[in-house]
Structure 1
Amino acid sequence: MKKTLISTTIALALTTAITACIAKPKDISIQTPRQPAQSPLTVTMLARYESGQYGVSAAEILDYHAQSKSIFVVNAKSGQVDILDASIISTIKNTANNTTKTTIDPLTLNNLTKKSTLNLASDLNLTRLGSVNSVAIYDNLLAVAIERGDDKGNSVQDRGFIGFYSLDNTGKATYLRAVEVGYLPDNVVFTHDGNKVIVANEGEPSNDYTVDPEGSISIININNNVPVKQAININFNDFDTQSARHHELPKGVKVNGPKSSVSQDLEPEYIAISHDNSQAFVSLQENNAIAVIDLKSQRVERIIDLGSKDYGLAKNAIDASDKDGEINIQSYPGVYGLYQPDTIASYSIEGADFIVTANEGDARDYAGFSEETRAGKLTLDKNHPQFDAIQDKKQLGRLKVTTSIGDTDNDGDIDKIYSYGSRSFSIWDAQGKQVFDSGNDFERITADRLGINFNNHNSKNKGDSRSDDKGAEPEALALGSIDGRQYAFVGLERTSGFMIYDITEPQQAYFVDYIINRNFTPQFEIENGVVTKGDPRAAGDLGPEGMKFIAGSKSPNGKPLLLVANEISGTTVVYQLKK
């Protein structure tokens, strides 16, 4: 029975050792990565909220307000922020030894309540406002990023805004002001001291690619808990062709938008702040790069090319086909993955910053321009080691790859095959040197735990259906310290659930556990926000998009927590973490 069930006490303490009941296929032998002898984390589901909305980004990015015990969750498509009451968490006790027990299905648990909703469109009172993309809280100040369409009918191509609110001890939000930032603000964060808000403005092109706004970073100073009225915007103009710093742009940075300048093509996605608040590390996902921003001089310090991952190495082997009907993890010399991180985070060890990336991958695939194709459609150099494999849909023929790079000798055929994402998470030092990558752990671990349900889609139950694309698709990411150990929590957007790694020693990071609350049995399908088949409610939590670690000193019950917002199922889940 391919279902994840959790036995629980009447107090709703749900211990999530939840993939053990899934049978391992008889035709494979997969070794889970070695785990040192340190005590593992006990992960317990405490609470969950069901929005009842599926496939419409009803739960994306989230943050926590300690004073009011409230969770603020981005409901992207509604242009609103849902405020959930997390006070119940302080009343939930783990009574696993109690003789009185009941069974509560974690797939349908719904014990969190919504207190209220923030309607940014109403508060900002501006036309053409679109989705809310990000939320951040520092002390009693809330910052929310919202996009805006231009006056030509393009949905996200005008400058967006950060809406600021003050929060009281009940979680009530009072609107302060909106500050205009760059085009399509996609992520907003506070510096660790709360003195600045930093915004990644992605600057996506229109679908016909006739409008491609510049990507940028915005800095909003905070004075005495009040945001200033005008942001400082940092662009990438100096890196354009024939501009002063173009020679500093690493050759490996992927710039491929038609007729777009470098500053238009670079698309800031997510932000991490250095431990001393002097730098912002910004993922440029489509460009396979990280920009380092000097927050003191308010300029781009440098751009880092992340390079590629060699799928020819056994430690990086992948399943590249959704048509083979089996788990077929193998190495492919001459095939590479672009890291292209989405979420990015950072932590420090003895004053040295380390950058952690969830390497999701992303293609430019628009009506007016698309770089995406199948490997089987490439004009491949006849001497390439995979020349025959790309003719076979059960091997490499189905793999989604880019046509923009790979012709290394400029003779018109492809010499290196590049796909999107690296199906892993990585740790880099502040100079951009990789010190750890999880290799093919995600593929092997999910195959071991889920069998043929590995590399599943998040909008329907169909195993192996994402092997040709980006696998389990790591996207969400949170870091946290528990009893002196540093952990990374990596959400798998497609297969769902999250990986836990101990990253206390960056070069020796190791796998701790994989937690998933999903039922792979029900047949359901969600297309364009519409449930076209079955009941997705029975499937559990689908598509983790945002995660937030809450230290015990700030959590409602005094224990470390992990909050997870699941985009496709529209659910928000609270897990307790105990070493």
Structure 2
Amino acid sequence: MGAAEQVAYDHVQKYAYAVSEQGVLNVIDWDNVTNPQVLSSLAYDFAGAKLTDIEICTSQGVMFIGAGAADTVSDGTVHILSTVQRSSPTKPVSQGTLVTGPLPDMILPNSDCTKLAVANEGEGEYGSSLVDPEGSVMIFQSADWSNPSSASKSTVALSGYTDSELMGMGVHLPLPLDAMVYFDDYSKWKDDLNFSTARTTYSSAMNLEPEYLSWSADDSTLFVNLQENNAVAIIDVPASGSPTLTTISGLGLKDHGTIPIDVNAGDKACVQATYTGLKALRQPDAIQAVEVDGKTYVLTANEGDDKGYGDFEEKLKLKDVLNSDGSVDSDMEHMTVSSSAASTAMALFAVADSLRITVGSAAINYTNSSAPEIQDIVAFGGRGVSIYEHTTSGLTLSWDSGAEVEREQCAHYAWAHNAIQDEEFAPVNGHLYMAAGSKLRGTLDEMNDPSQDGCADAGDGQPGACPLGQMVDDRSAKDGPGVEAIVAGKACGSLVAVTATEKQGTAFVYDISNIASPSLLFVKHLSPASEMKSPGVAYADRSLGEIDPEAMIFLEDAHSPSGKAGVMFAGAWSGTMSFWEFECPTTTTTSTAGPVDTSGAREVSALSLSVLLFVFSFARL
């Protein structure tokens, strides 16, 4: 369960590290690239702390590990440990800690490790009432990370805008102040919600939650992804002096009036269609900055995400918001609906009344809190990747994959089309089941019971959890393929980007040398065994592969353990890790656009990935 939440690789010493949500750091020896070994004796126990990220500074022989507090609203920590040295492998030793803001979701050093950026997500927590800290970014600076007390800290607040200013900039707010008033005072949930304290202390930055970071090539700019807000904050980081927030750029809505989408979960087939008026928030998880021809671009993996506090749920089914005739459902009392939104809803009802839509600011105007208006039908997730150019005014959309990811996943792996496979598919009496609380055990019982949500054959002839191949279309009314990770680098002379879907484990490889017109090179499934086997069955016979490949590392030739460029994939939920290297084509042609810091780039139409080793499971599981 989250055994490989995030991973890092020390290309100098040839050790990889994986942090788990249960507070364990695993060390993996990659010196023999075809036979990596988990070094259990070197594992470091953080006593159950929720670890969020790990990064390596090879020049100083240290690693940075992010850890949240027991709750999401208290300050977190960055642990600094020594890395394992090949000459004398010993267990990592703590060098000290840094105090961060609430929930340090990602940490990232700049190119020379003199600065360490921290994205403090500041996720809200609901007990008897809502407590929601502001999201922020911290940048620590030090020339010697073995002495953390010497580090200086600069905090970049995101509180310089009002709700109306942010919404005018295209920033999505899951729960703006006016919406908080509606749900607290006028909605059907008003007696079960208590937003009074949050309303009194409200600032727009409570809605902004930094989750992912990427530095520009020259370290002068830090891009901060705000996933739930469908936006990226841009921070200017001078060589000396204080960093400052330049702007926050909304990433725009995807128009499914022109871009086909599969929102019908009932037909169990790959059928894309357009729906006039239907839009979607891109809401990327991972982002990656690249430089091409002297310009900086930001790649985004458009997963989709939502917020929920107590009885407030931002993500609702279409049929719980509007009726088949376009009228407002009784659950959304006191709301009104525009004629265009009503028309879109009526067209969708026949095929997708369970489509998940937002009740946040991108869809509903809450200016009149006692009578908000539903203005648009807006789904979650961009179901693909996008490329934005960094300009003086912010980020400008340069290219979007459109319907390609959903279409090509179906074309290559129809059995995985918008399917789902995650922690809920563990076997009864397995490791996760035995460690789970009663609520999760109940869910697992249902998932393993053929009379409920399980299958008569889990892949071993016995009833149990369903193989991925039996779950086609289950995510179509939610976020579809749900791409969540993206990395980029040079392979075979071209600039290549790799992304992967969360629930299906499908990787997509693009040639982005021509940044204005990327081309999809090939699609590769990271868990082919899942077509016919449940995760529990495939895990037991060691054929599982990566489930939830949230963490990926692009390793160019010089940093690769094999000497050839490739990608390390880590399955957060499968607790597995593998390295795939690129096989270069035998013939190439000169490209018109060169990749980062190279000349004579080549197209790689014949480029492919070959697995260099069998995936392995962490010993602790």
Question: Normalised by the shorter chain, which TM-score bucket?
Answer: 0.7 to 0.9
Alpha-carbon separation, structure 2, partners of 1:346 and 1:481: 14
* Alignment counterpart, residue 417 of structure 1, candidates 377, 386, 399: 377
1:400, 1:419 within 8 Å by CA — same for their partners in 2? yes
* Alignment counterpart, residue 213 of structure 1, candidates 114, 130, 133: 133
Query: 2:615 aligns to what?
Result: none
2:550, 2:572 within 8 Å by CA — same for their partners in 1? yes
Which string of whole-angstrom CA distances, capped at 9 and with x for unpartnered residues, describes residues 231-261 of structure 1?
32221222256xxxx8577442122333342
Query: 1:389 aligns to what?
Result: 347
Alpha-carbon separation, structure 2, partners of 1:523 and 1:565: 20
Aligned AA for 1:419? A
* Alignment counterpart, residue 455 of structure 1, candidates 418, 421, 443: 418
Which string of whole-angstrom CA distances, capped at 9 and with x for unpartnered residues, describes residues 510-532 of structure 1?
1011111322344537xxxxx69
Instruction: Say if 2:57 is the partner of 1:147.
Output: no
2:115, 2:140 within 8 Å by CA — same for their partners in 1? yes
Aligned AA for 1:366? Y
Any residues of structure 2 matched to 1:28-67 within 5 Å, and which? Answer: 56-67=1-12
Cα 1:303/1:130, change in 2 over 3 Å: same
Alpha-carbon separation, structure 1, partners of 2:418 and 2:234: 33
Query: 1:575 aligns to what?
Result: 580
Cα 1:329/1:193, change in 2 over 3 Å: same
* Alignment counterpart, residue 236 of structure 1, candidates 143, 158, 170: 158
1:560, 1:576 within 8 Å by CA — same for their partners in 2? yes
Query: 2:106 aligns to what?
Result: 187
2:80, 2:145 within 8 Å by CA — same for their partners in 1? no
1:536, 1:569 within 8 Å by CA — same for their partners in 2? no
Q: Secondary structure at the match of 1:389?
A: helix
Identity of aligned residues (%): 26
Q: Secondary structure at the match of 1:237?
A: coil
Alpha-carbon separation, structure 2, partners of 1:323 and 1:166: 52
- TM-fit CA distance, 1:161: 0.7
1:250, 1:304 within 8 Å by CA — same for their partners in 2? no
Aligned AA for 1:160? G
1:288, 1:305 within 8 Å by CA — same for their partners in 2? yes
Alpha-carbon separation, structure 2, partners of 1:111 and 1:451: 32
- TM-fit CA distance, 1:373: 0.7
Cα 1:73/1:168, change in 2 over 3 Å: closer
- TM-fit CA distance, 1:321: 2.1
Cα 1:447/1:179, change in 2 over 3 Å: same
2:174, 2:359 within 8 Å by CA — same for their partners in 1? no
Instruction: Say if 2:557 is the partner of 1:552.
Output: yes
- TM-fit CA distance, 1:443: 0.7
Alpha-carbon separation, structure 1, partners of 2:212 and 2:495: 21
TM-score (norm 2): 0.73
Q: Which has the higher helix share?
A: 2
- TM-fit CA distance, 1:404: 1.9
Query: 1:83 aligns to what?
Result: 27
Cα 1:533/1:85, change in 2 over 3 Å: closer
CA RMSD of aligned residues (A): 2.4
1:67, 1:169 within 8 Å by CA — same for their partners in 2? no
1:408, 1:416 within 8 Å by CA — same for their partners in 2? no
Which string of whole-angstrom CA distances, capped at 9 and with x for unpartnered residues, describes residues 365-411 of structure 1?
2324211111222234455443433333xx12111101123246977
Alpha-carbon separation, structure 1, partners of 2:124 and 2:365: 27
Aligned AA for 2:30? A
Any residues of structure 2 matched to 1:63-462 within 5 Å, and which? Answer: 63-76=8-21, 78-89=22-33, 92=34, 112-119=37-44, 121=46, 130-139=49-58, 140-149=61-70, 155-170=71-86, 172=90, 173-208=92-127, 210-226=130-146, 227=148, 228-240=150-162, 247=165, 250-257=168-175, 258=180, 259=199, 260-296=202-238, 297-313=242-258, 316-379=259-322, 380=326, 381-383=338-340, 384-392=342-350, 395-405=351-361, 406-407=363-364, 412-430=372-390, 431-459=394-422, 460=425, 461=468, 462=471
Aligned AA for 1:261? S
Query: 1:32 aligns to what?
Result: none
Alpha-carbon separation, structure 2, partners of 1:229 and 1:407: 45
Q: For structure 2, which runs of at least 5 residues remain unmatched after alignment?
A: 181-198, 327-337, 426-467, 585-621
Cα 1:178/1:292, change in 2 over 3 Å: same
Cα 1:88/1:147, change in 2 over 3 Å: same
- TM-fit CA distance, 1:563: 0.6
- TM-fit CA distance, 1:230: 4.9
- TM-fit CA distance, 1:309: 0.4
1:326, 1:452 within 8 Å by CA — same for their partners in 2? no
- TM-fit CA distance, 1:280: 0.4
Q: For structure 1, which runs of at least 5 residues remain unmatched after alignment?
A: 1-55, 93-109, 123-128, 150-154, 526-530
Query: 2:475 aligns to what?
Result: 466
1:452, 1:464 within 8 Å by CA — same for their partners in 2? no
- TM-fit CA distance, 1:413: 4.6
Q: Secondary structure at the match of 2:570?
A: strand
Alpha-carbon separation, structure 1, partners of 2:126 and 2:41: 35
Aligned AA for 2:83? L
Alpha-carbon separation, structure 2, partners of 1:283 and 1:58: 24
Alpha-carbon separation, structure 2, partners of 1:185 and 1:536: 36
Q: Which has the higher strand share?
A: 1
Alpha-carbon separation, structure 2, partners of 1:168 and 1:119: 11
Cα 1:117/1:285, change in 2 over 3 Å: farther
Aligned AA for 2:173? V
- TM-fit CA distance, 1:362: 0.3
Answer 1 or 2: higher relative contact order, Cα 8 Å, separation at least 6. Answer: 1
- Greater Cα shift, 533-542 or 488-497: 533-542
Q: Secondary structure at the match of 1:199?
A: strand
Cα 1:136/1:409, change in 2 over 3 Å: closer
Cα 1:387/1:497, change in 2 over 3 Å: closer
Alpha-carbon separation, structure 1, partners of 2:72 and 2:365: 35
Q: Secondary structure at the match of 1:286?
A: helix
Q: Secondary structure at the match of 1:386?
A: helix
Aligned length: 480
Cα 1:114/1:286, change in 2 over 3 Å: same
Aligned AA for 1:220? F
Alpha-carbon separation, structure 2, partners of 1:247 and 1:397: 33
Alpha-carbon separation, structure 2, partners of 1:304 and 1:144: 29
Alpha-carbon separation, structure 2, partners of 1:267 and 1:251: 16
Cα 1:409/1:133, change in 2 over 3 Å: closer
* Alignment counterpart, residue 520 of structure 1, candidates 512, 518, 530: 530
Alpha-carbon separation, structure 1, partners of 2:93 and 2:294: 38
Cα 1:148/1:574, change in 2 over 3 Å: same
Alpha-carbon separation, structure 2, partners of 1:409 and 1:264: 17
2:67, 2:78 within 8 Å by CA — same for their partners in 1? yes
Alpha-carbon separation, structure 2, partners of 1:267 and 1:88: 40
1:524, 1:536 within 8 Å by CA — same for their partners in 2? no
- TM-fit CA distance, 1:111: 5.2
Cα 1:231/1:80, change in 2 over 3 Å: farther
- TM-fit CA distance, 1:118: 4.6
Aligned AA for 1:418? V
